[in-house]
Amino acid sequence: MRISALVLVAVDVLLSCGHSQPRGGGHWEGSIHVAGIALAIRVDFSVAGDSVRGTIDIPQQNATRLPLRDVRMMADSIFFELPAGPGLARFEGNIAGDSAWGVFRQAGMTGTFQLRRGVAERVAGPELPAPYSSAEVSFQYGGVPLAGTITLPRSKGPHPAVILLTGSGAQTRDEDVFGFRVFATLADTLTRAGLAVLRFDDPGTGGSGRTPADETTQGYGKVARAAFEFLRKYPGIDSSHIGMLGHSEGALAAALAATQEPSPGFLVLMAGPALRGDSIILCQIEALCRASGMEPGEIAEHLSLQRRVYEVIRADKGWDSL
């Protein structure tokens, strides 16, 4: 799977998210903090008589309108629960004016959350209108359509071009992180500088279908190659000057795609891993454990279990004991 073991653990822990609001429905935005990690969240509350209902959005995980339960709002406090991940997440906090804050507990872990009424100010993406053209496109991989956007300078072509490849996990073409559309902003900047840019929804997300080879990094490299072949034939593109910009796991996919002929004209590897995947996961687990305040003995137990997982997977036996 493209989603790493660390990501799955983080999702389970961080799906515990909340927004609060004093008396009445409305929209709140903020974040939760656990094990040194912050995760953006959005919560909407509605009031009908004496009952209050709520839903939560977690943009980074493509989770929308997850229902909250047992929502209780007082003049200066709030409590609600979110059934998710490894167990029920409970949130309890204080309210003062347009702000709310408190603690959540889930699966033996404790974190904090903070919220503010209304939409948090942030730079969400490029300024519009843009001084370039933009078109919705679709290309095929394994008989499945992949949807994307291509932006083209208005100057006379053919234009050099770059393909943007997202990091691990299900990402749309804009690679939204904490409400900041990383790839939308990159595409805007690069197109203003004179490059054509292709970005697309990962297989199984947004407007893209799920392909038979999208569950591994190797499969993602093949998807990247399909994007490269599509762009080579697109009108107004200089086929001898097409490159790839890969972020995180996208950097690996770009490198894999570059091993075939014809090769991309250039590669930009942004925060790409420099260690083997199993070593990276062990390093991430250790860092998260230290950040959460675990004792050395506890950290060693977690790392030992992860190494055991690797052994069982490689040998394909010992599943019951694991």
H or E stretch at 38: strand 37-48
Sheet with 26-34: strands ordered across: 63-67, 51-58, 37-48, 26-34, 109-117, 99-106, 87-96, 77-84, 69-73
For residues 273 and 284, give the distance between their C-alpha atoms in angstroms, rounded to a whole number. 12
For residues 308 and 32, give the distance between their C-alpha atoms in angstroms, rounded to a whole number. 31
pLDDT interval class at 44 (50, 70, 90):
confident
Amino acid 34: pLDDT: 72
Angle between helix 249-257 and helix 217-232 axes, rounded to 10 deg: 60
pLDDT interval class at 286 (50, 70, 90):
very high
User: Residue 268 pairs with which residues in a beta bridge?
Assistant: 245
Identify whether the C-beta of residue 201 lies closer than 8 Å to the C-beta of residue 191: no
Amino acid 316: pLDDT: 95
For residues 252 and 271, give the distance between their C-alpha atoms in angstroms, rounded to a whole number. 10
Question: 207-252, pLDDT tens digit by residue?
Answer: 998 866 557 889 999 999 999 999 999 999 999 999 999 999 999 9
Tokens 């996961």: give the residue. Answer: 281
Amino acid 23: pLDDT: 52
For residues 79 and 67, give the distance between their C-alpha atoms in angstroms, rounded to a whole number. 14
Encoding tokens for residue 14? 């961080």
For residues 295 and 44, give the distance between their C-alpha atoms in angstroms, rounded to a whole number. 38
For residues 72 and 260, give the distance between their C-alpha atoms in angstroms, rounded to a whole number. 58
The overall average pLDDT reported for the chain is 83
Encoding tokens for residue 109? 């872990």
Identify whether the C-beta of residue 57 lies closer than 8 Å to the C-beta of residue 41: yes
Question: Among 49, 53, 43, which Cα is nearest to 20's?
Answer: 43
Q: Which fold has domain 132-270?
A: Rossmann fold (3.40.50)
Of these ranges, 11-15, 81-85, 257-261, the one predicted with the greatest mean pLDDT is 257-261
Helices assigned H by DSSP within the chain: 5-14, 182-192, 217-232, 249-257, 277-291, 296-315
Buried/exposed 187-204: b ≥16 CB within 10 Å, e otherwise: bbebbeeebbbbbbbbbe
At 104 the three-state DSSP class reads strand
pLDDT interval class at 297 (50, 70, 90):
very high
| pLDDT > 90 in the chain, percent | 42
Q: Which CATH number is 15-117 given? A: 2.40.128
Encoding tokens for residue 150? 């291509």
pLDDT interval class at 22 (50, 70, 90):
very low
Amino acid 56: pLDDT: 86
Question: 121-160, pLDDT tens digit by residue?
Answer: 444 556 667 899 999 999 999 888 999 999 999 999 899 9
Encoding tokens for residue 34? 């656990």
Looking at beta carbons, which pairs linking 87-93 to residues 24 or more positions away fall under 8 Å?
89/15, 89/16, 89/17, 89/18, 91/16, 91/18, 91/20, 93/18, 93/20
Residue 61, C-beta contacts closer than 8 angstroms, at least 6 positions apart: 11, 14, 15, 169
pLDDT interval class at 96 (50, 70, 90):
confident
For residues 101 and 116, give the distance between their C-alpha atoms in angstroms, rounded to a whole number. 9
Amino acid 227: pLDDT: 97
Identify whether the C-beta of residue 150 lies closer than 8 Å to the C-beta of residue 198: yes
